Chain A
């Protein structure tokens, strides 16, 4: 059964689709997100398929396959590029039909790609499939970009969920109950917003190893305030409407009125802010990584790449170019989507009280 949307929402979506720039940005962004989710299939040091002595292996997901699996003399993870070269040069194996199928970019994000050489950024090398070159620690930049993007996405999802959870909850409560509660929370927010966020992050980062959870928690703790004000005004506005009064007359409780009547009518506000919140999240994660207060090493991250790049502007311009372009493209896409959503959901266009 097709999803039933009410006519106004359908109209909004149609309008969104008609905004070409935003719509295409949305498609591209979705494509990127999907790509990041299955990045192992395209960028990874693990082979996609190995056929060895008549058996099939699909090492991409799951536990590691030690070298002994393929008759090599070690217990750690198989070096599939090496295995491919071995099988290729081994006539017996080739005749048996053994082969290794590597992903398009056969490097992992924390893998040292030149294990026998000095640490030194190397320029893009298409023959070796380092399409964006390597960074100062001999790691493939493309791989780091893609997996860094994935981390940024995970971070954004949690960040948006946290900010919206807190912001909507408190904002609605402020608007709905008003009075002393509203006044109190407003003062709390004012005090809270004056705590310098960056210093707090620096302090926390100095004391604990800030994993993703920590970073999300800190960012949410200091990111929820903005949304409460929008939700508060929306709720104030909606609760004064007749339908809210009608619901109350019918005996609906506070929770039901807020969740079933007011919240759906503030959805336009909520939705329009999402893309900008995501952009903000990616930006702040990158900034924290850039400053060295972000994800623990050797997690791939854009901020860390940017920081390397700025230190090696003249020596290795490809680092900063890659990271900067990736960041710009993604943020522009998100912003285009955001603008289109805002325009499509603009209440002035669809208001029933004309």
Chain B
């Protein structure tokens, strides 16, 4: 399990490392291409001057007192004496000791941020990544190179101890941990984290729900300023992650949280435990110039020399430049105004900057392909089995064989991508080892369609049944960039006599339609953070498919059941046996046992044939100017792009000579076109 921070605006399949990467740490959330919304932020900064100061201390204390079962204060003497405190000291260190600190890192964002809040309306956009996700310290972080089992290394915590029988994790904060505006991080901030996220003032229902009393967490106990314990509802194998991967919330900063939180805190920079801050002067500057926004690295950052952090976060400044159009950003990169550019799209990798391009061949720009090993977004077609045609398994099977994903991979992704086999690929040994997606096979498609009564072809070549209805289905799509993929599928499916009507809508409208279960087939993907095991309840449990899926006997489908909307069960799948497995999987406290259930679940899903697995990109590609450096092994195993762990550094001395060499053809440097395959999964 990764952090509980879900974001709904997720990565766009875009060549740039767009700012829309907020969901890196997200739990299940949709992988729709979406652009950050608001374009017209209110006046930043200074707003606090006009607002009367408020102090919510009394309110907060009263809340703690009113929920004394949840917010518990004890003394250090109450700590169990037999706890096994650990700091997991022996994990490999992230980053390279060869790193150089300093320099300005230029990066592109698509829009000026609509707010500096990290919760509430408009906060769930790509900029949150800089304010929270990648740059703020958690109590402990998942080690991005170690798997089987996953391990955590200390961030704000110095040590921790797990008491599994009592579902409690004890944490001792690092005495050096400081907020960027001075105060030390204390257990006050941990208590306050729960108050803040439970508060209705923040207008963030997801947080209210996740942090709600008894929802995931049942108690937080303070022993002294540095020691606390969090008790969670179920001792699942990801219990440690659910506690450690939280970040405290600065109590001293949020004294004025009240009903006007959303406007009051719109333009205040939240003190951070991470390295980069937005200075007051910079905020003042952005009042008149919103072409870029710069974060400064704190020279005396408290974790400067802390293990796992000392070789990371190297640039002295992060300059985020607002460049709306991708082609413009590409030109800016070629002009040396951006340090790096994502090359995931084949067009950029093969056509715009091929390996034999002079800038690559002369070593000015380095190209890197890195095979990562993370849970894969499950791109594919989700079939709504509540629809008349799709209710029939033979039709679903026919569709499975009529979809030519191989051709998509070949033509659109130029053979670089591979086929997704199950909806839960990339979970290491939790992924089913032998299940394979069904291939494109017109004979089998015809056979299954015939079983379902579609034997004859109409004048347009589409199959019709004896009642005269055509085999025509709507294909809902929210990714404009990926529309050509669907056109390939559509044209190939015609060969099987299947008509697919592509309906490309705006990403959020499309997702809304899917959430209302108004789709036949939907092209979508869920993005998953690095978690030890997949989740099944959200997508496959019958309680997310129908209001009352079964009659009293628990197995007979209820004839009057109504489709349940606003859930992630996009297939409207309701199988009693599957429900039972999911329940046992969710209650299980042993990974071994869960693995067995997961395999059975995947087999049932495969048999049901209501998800046609699409493609996965098993790598990321990036082009960088030669003054950008990476560690020897380039990056970590669980990275979804080259920069999220901040292991890169700049060699500013190389910048002028490189830029000068752009125009001087006689100059060249050793070229670097590399592919790092140490984590490449074996087929």
Chain A interface residues (CB < 8 Å from chain B): 62-64, 66, 74-77, 110-112, 115, 117-120, 136-138, 202, 205-207, 209, 292, 296-298, 310-311, 315
Contacts and interface: CB of A to CB of B under 8 A. Distances in A.
A64 B461 contact: yes
Contacts of A118: 346, 350, 410-411, 414
Interface string B276-295: 00000000000000000000
Given A112-B491, A311-B327, A315-B351, A207 B457 contact: no
Contact of B480 (A110, A202, A292): A292
A310 B347 CA distance: 14
A76 B411 contact: no
A130 B138 CA distance: 58
Which 6 residue pairs across A and B have the least CB separation, nearest first?
A63-B459, A206-B506, A76-B495, A206-B509, A64-B461, A209-B503
Contacts of A112: 411, 488, 491
Given A206-B509, A315-B351, A75 B491 contact: no
A66 B504 contact: no
A137 B410 contact: no
Contact of A119 (B412, B486, B502): B412
Contact of A137 (B442, B457, B484): B484
20 contacts: A64-B459, A75-B457, A75-B461, A75-B495, A76-B461, A76-B494, A110-B487, A118-B350, A120-B347, A136-B484, A206-B506, A206-B508, A206-B509, A207-B505, A292-B480, A296-B501, A296-B503, A297-B502, A298-B502, A315-B351
Given A64-B460, A137-B484, A315-B351, A296 B497 contact: no
A120 B460 CA distance: 29
Contact of B502 (A64, A207, A296, A310): A296
Contacts of B410: 118
B484 A119 contact: yes
B351 A120 contact: yes
A207 B458 CA distance: 31
A292 B35 CA distance: 15
Given A206-B506, A207-B505, A297 B459 contact: no
Contacts of A110: 487, 491
A253 to B, nearest CB: 49
A12 B503 CA distance: 48
Nearest to B493: A76
Nearest to A310: B327
B542 interface: no
B562 interface: no
B461 A66 contact: yes
Contacts of A206: 505-506, 508-509
Contact of A297 (B350, B407, B487): B487
Interface in B560-603: none
Contacts of A315: 347, 351-352
Given A206-B506, A297-B487, 4 more contacts: A75-B446, A75-B497, A120-B347, A205-B506
Nearest to A311: B327
B483 interface: yes
Contacts of A298: 487, 490-491, 502
Contacts of B490: 298
Contacts of A74: 442, 495
Given A118-B411, A315-B352, A297 B488 contact: no
Contacts of A292: 480
A66 B456 CA distance: 12
Interface string B329-367: 000000000000000001100111000000000000000
B505 A209 contact: yes
B459 A62 contact: yes
Contacts of B488: 112
B615 to A, nearest CB: 14
Contacts of A119: 346, 411-412, 414, 484
A298 B492 CA distance: 13
B461 to A, nearest CB: 4
B647 to A, nearest CB: 33
B504 A296 contact: yes
Contacts of B327: 310-311
A206 B508 CA distance: 8
A64 B497 CA distance: 12
Nearest to B408: A119
Contacts of A77: 461, 494
Contacts of B350: 118, 120
Question: Which residue, A63, A119, A206, A310, has most C-beta atoms of chain B within 10 A?
Answer: A119
B400 to A, nearest CB: 18
A297 B446 CA distance: 26
A66 B459 CA distance: 10
A206 B503 CA distance: 10
A297 B461 contact: no
A252 to B, nearest CB: 52
Contacts of A75: 446, 457, 461, 495, 497
Contacts of B461: 63-64, 66, 75-77
Interface string B375-413: 000000000000000000000000000000001001110
A136 B347 CA distance: 10
Contacts of B457: 66, 75
Nearest to B507: A206
B491 A117 contact: no
Contacts of B484: 119, 136-137
B460 A63 contact: yes
Contacts of A62: 459
A350 to B, nearest CB: 52
Contacts of A138: 411
A136 B229 CA distance: 57
A209 to B, nearest CB: 4
Nearest to A298: B487
Interface in B471-494: 480, 483-484, 486-488, 490-491, 494
A208 to B, nearest CB: 8
Nearest to B462: A64
Contact of A76 (B346, B414, B497, B503): B497
Nearest to B509: A206
Nearest to A292: B480
A80 to B, nearest CB: 14
A66 B490 CA distance: 18
B372 to A, nearest CB: 24
A272 to B, nearest CB: 39
Nearest to A314: B352
Contacts of B506: 202, 205-206
A117 B412 CA distance: 9
Nearest to B352: A315
Given A63-B460, A76-B497, A296-B504, A137 B346 contact: no
A23 B414 CA distance: 51
A137 B487 contact: yes
Interface in B500-518: 501-506, 508-509
A206 B497 CA distance: 29
A314 to B, nearest CB: 8
Contacts of B487: 110, 137, 297-298
Contacts of B411: 112, 117-119, 138
B495 A297 contact: no
B192 to A, nearest CB: 40
A176 to B, nearest CB: 44
A202 B506 CA distance: 9
A209 B520 CA distance: 14
Nearest to B326: A311
A255 B503 CA distance: 45
A50 to B, nearest CB: 17
B482 to A, nearest CB: 11
Contacts of A209: 501, 503-505
A82 B460 CA distance: 20
Nearest to A76: B495
- Which one of A64, A117, A118, A136 has the highest number of Cβ atoms from chain B below 10 Å of its Cβ? A118
Contacts of A66: 457, 461
A57 to B, nearest CB: 14
